[in-house]
Chain A
Amino acid sequence: MKTLKNLCKSEEKLGLIGIALLVFFLIVALLAPTIAPFDPYERVGKSFDTPSSIHLLGTNDIGQDIFSEIIYGTRFSLSLALLASFIAIVLGVLIGVISGYFQGVWESFFMRLTDFILIIPFLPLVIIISAYFSGSFKNLALVIGLTAWPSTARIIRSQVMRIRSKDYILNLKAMGGRDSYILKRHILREVLPIIVYRFMMMANSAILIEASLSFLGLGSPTIKSWGTILYYAQVRNAFLTDAWVWWILPPGICISLLSVAFLFSGYYVESRLNPKV
């Protein structure tokens, strides 16, 4: 009993750390123009400059301030993570609820579609799709969102199936309750904690996928995202010079921190709202 309590406490602590980090990144994203000393698109120094009091993390290969790039990168990474997970969650919930609640032909169709997407290795699938579209913000969010929904759909479907066979739902149906009413008022309300948890996990994945895609050169080369910063650092050989310390470590740490922030917040939501998941 004591161990369980301790566990809950540590999860709470982790959750608080996660939320604090999220809030921190949110503030940085919102206040980017104020915090960043330079416009990240302006060429303000000489190329490959080392860190100095003017350029805290030096400059990149075309003389843009790396510190400002990272600050603005928060905006991109955070908003992309939120938008991509939103798309994935909406699709996943819609397909999961329809399949789980109505069953029949729709369930068969959606579940085979889900199986089909699930058996294709995820990252190669995303890479192929990205290679054929330009890596703009909208396209990246769509590519991630449209390929990341199946696992959510599966989980939601199984939960909806469990809930729909509960006595109170059967009673409601027997009393003539409409499907839209039952879905909105009861089913969705019950699966909400799972949706929130999945959203956090999706956002975490979206950050890593965006970083991976941009690092592989499949993002937009002009967008200031952490993945793009890493991509240019790698292709301009920062690993072979001392520049990796100020050009590769900081965006790498940011990616890890934001990812951890979503992960911890997700665990917290999971433990607080639905310990059974």
Chain B
Amino acid sequence: MKYKSWKKIFVIMLISIMCITNVAAAHSSVDTLTISIHTDENTLTPFTYVRGYPGIEVARLVFDSLFTLDANNQVIPWMVEEYSVDENFQVYELTLRDDLKWHDGEKVTTEDVKFAFEYALTQNSSRWRRIASEIEEMEILDERNIIITLENSNLDFISNGLADFMIYPKHIYDGVEDATLVEETVGSGMYQLLEYRSEQYYKFKAVEDYFMGTPKVKNITMPIINDSGANFQALRAGEIAATTAQLAPELVETFEGNRNINIKSGPGFGSTLLQFNTEEYPFNDSKFRQAIAYAIDIDELIERITLGYADKGNLGFYHPNSPYGRQTSTHSYNIEKSNELLDMLGFTEKNAQGIRLDAEGTPLEFELLVNGGSAPRSRTAEIIISQLMDVGIKVNIVALEGNTLDDRVWPGFDVSHGRNYEMSIWGWSGPMQLNSDALIRLFASDFAKGNLNIGGYNNDVFDDLAEKFAKTLNLQDRDDLIQEMMEVIEGEVPFLTLYYGETIMAYDSTKYDGWVMQDGMGIINKFSFLDLDTAVAQEGVVSTEVEEVSNNQSSSFPWWVVLVLIIPATLILKRRKNREDDEEVI
């Protein structure tokens, strides 16, 4: 009897050890990881990726930039070992690391850096061209040292330019007229793209001698699964370790019940907003825009559409967690105030359907454009039209395919081409929140500066502040100017930010648990695959982990404890057995 109970204990111990070993194995170096990607992002070069997310985030695993943003969106040097900036923020002297290599074995030199910026000016990519066009000249001192001189002072050139701009090899792109025709994907990043099959998959291999350390996952396979539901079905079935698709709020509860799946969530920087065409009557009147803003109950939108997984929008632009955001510019829902403003504007008469009439007797009836392919946005529009009907404004939803919507709101992606809409449900991607000049790009009436001013907003006070901002080099003064510009925008409401959906990412922790949540961006980033201090620091990120296991715990598991337990247990068992055998003989 006693022997049996010892046997039981031993079996339990063995099972426990096996479990611990499995968990530990999941966290140490992983051979192959399957992560689904929810869109086909082409060959993932700086000129062929399709979307900001996930395209550019995945491309950053293959291509490096001189600087980068860490998990907390702080700028850190990356390809650069040392750097200095002159007091005018115009001359940047950079020293490259000595151990940089392209995936084909060639050394990365300052020739590549110079070429990348010059070549970007010849290509049709506004993102890279905008950064490269700020440079007046580049002087190569040797193969590691380069001096970049800007045309004008720019305090944010590192964060807005050098931390974004991906460096690509001269020996691949030199002489190629159209960069999109380059089929090879050769970068200097931590992963090398081995194979890409359109609409099927990507295969990556870790660069063993990567200058920031060997990536923790040796191979990554990324099947392209366009349907978001199918991505999560695959995750639930254990077929993939993670997905680039964000977990829909309605699935959080279901996935929280799955013991293999962990969920990480954090503030999202991508915004959903109600955009006005401020050139059209009556949207050209800030009082009318305010009246609309007061009539919209954002809390209801957040509760119904995002099930609470969103931060409330404000009257400005910046998210409170962005480096330039602040808490004071809150939006309030106030039907009385909305009605008061509309009455004050002279829209007092109503027709039989309860729609307000303007001075000429025309009903206040407008079109609200929305991307029909986005269910949350369509639903947002649906709720907004019913809320605006409560104050006597009739809105008709026009659901359009994404490209058609872009053509109406942002024809040719050039705001100087005009616009053809009254209101639209729109949004700006997360990285915009990290740009200090985002307000200027969104609201400056000079379209060369306000290249994202899709509402055609025009305000002299704002333009003066924007002018001042461009000439200010003091950080504190610039911050003050940003707040001043925000105040102007808050009073004018050129658009109304409705909400910032939270970033919710789900992954199978039994397959890999080293994920790092980058604020506002997600878990698909280079810090998820590197052992860096910067990658571990993640203050402010809410983690609703189901299992309390972490990478650090497993790697420092006290194996001696296991040995100490096993050896005496075996000895005791053996002695016990011998004694029983002896008793039987007697």
Interface residues of A (CB under 8 A from B): 41, 43, 47-48, 61-63, 131-132, 134-135, 217-218, 220-222, 231-232, 234-237, 239-241
Q: Is B397's CB under 8 angstroms from A237's CB?
A: no
Interface size classification for chain B: 20 to 34
User: Shortest Cβ distance from A198 into chain B, in angstroms?
Assistant: 31
Q: Is A237's CB under 8 angstroms from B304's CB?
A: no
- Show 19 residue pairs from A and B whose CB-CB distance is below 8 angstroms, ordered by the A residue: A43-B383, A61-B250, A62-B379, A132-B401, A134-B398, A134-B399, A217-B372, A217-B375, A218-B401, A220-B372, A221-B379, A221-B381, A221-B399, A232-B379, A235-B228, A235-B229, A235-B375, A236-B250, A237-B250
Q: Is A240's CB under 8 angstroms from B400's CB?
A: no
9 shortest interchain CB distances as A-B pairs: A221-B378, A235-B375, A131-B401, A62-B304, A134-B398, A221-B399, A47-B304, A217-B373, A222-B397
User: Shortest Cβ distance from A72 into chain B, in angstroms?
Assistant: 15
* Those of B363-401 within 8 Å (CB) of chain A: 370, 372-373, 375, 378-379, 381-383, 385-386, 397-401
12 additional contacts (CB under 8 A) given A131-B401, A240-B236: A47-B250, A61-B379, A62-B305, A62-B379, A135-B399, A217-B372, A220-B397, A234-B229, A239-B229, A240-B233, A240-B254, A241-B251
User: Shortest Cβ distance from A132 into chain B, in angstroms?
Assistant: 6
Interface SS, B side: helix
Residues in A with CB closer than 8 Å to B305 are 47, 61-62
How many contacts A-B (CB < 8 Å)?
83
Interface SS, A side: loop
Residues in A with CB closer than 8 Å to B386 are 41, 43
The complex places the Cα of A209 from the Cα of B553 at a distance, in Å, of 56
B248 close to chain A: CB less than 8 A? yes
User: Shortest Cβ distance from B309 into chain A, in angstroms?
Assistant: 12
User: Shortest Cβ distance from B506 into chain A, in angstroms?
Assistant: 11
B495 close to chain A: CB less than 8 A? no
B457 close to chain A: CB less than 8 A? no
Q: Mark B88-120, 1 if CB is under 8 A from A, else 0.
A: 000000000000000000000000000000000
The complex places the Cα of A235 from the Cα of B374 at a distance, in Å, of 9
B443 close to chain A: CB less than 8 A? no
The complex places the Cα of A217 from the Cα of B379 at a distance, in Å, of 12
User: Shortest Cβ distance from A65 into chain B, in angstroms?
Assistant: 14
* Those of B250-302 within 8 Å (CB) of chain A: 250-251, 254, 300
Q: Is B372's CB under 8 angstroms from A132's CB?
A: no
User: Shortest Cβ distance from A42 into chain B, in angstroms?
Assistant: 8
The complex places the Cα of A181 from the Cα of B576 at a distance, in Å, of 113
The complex places the Cα of A131 from the Cα of B305 at a distance, in Å, of 25
Q: Is A241's CB under 8 angstroms from B382's CB?
A: no
With beta carbons under 8 angstroms apart, the residue of B251, B307, B382 that contacts A221 is B382
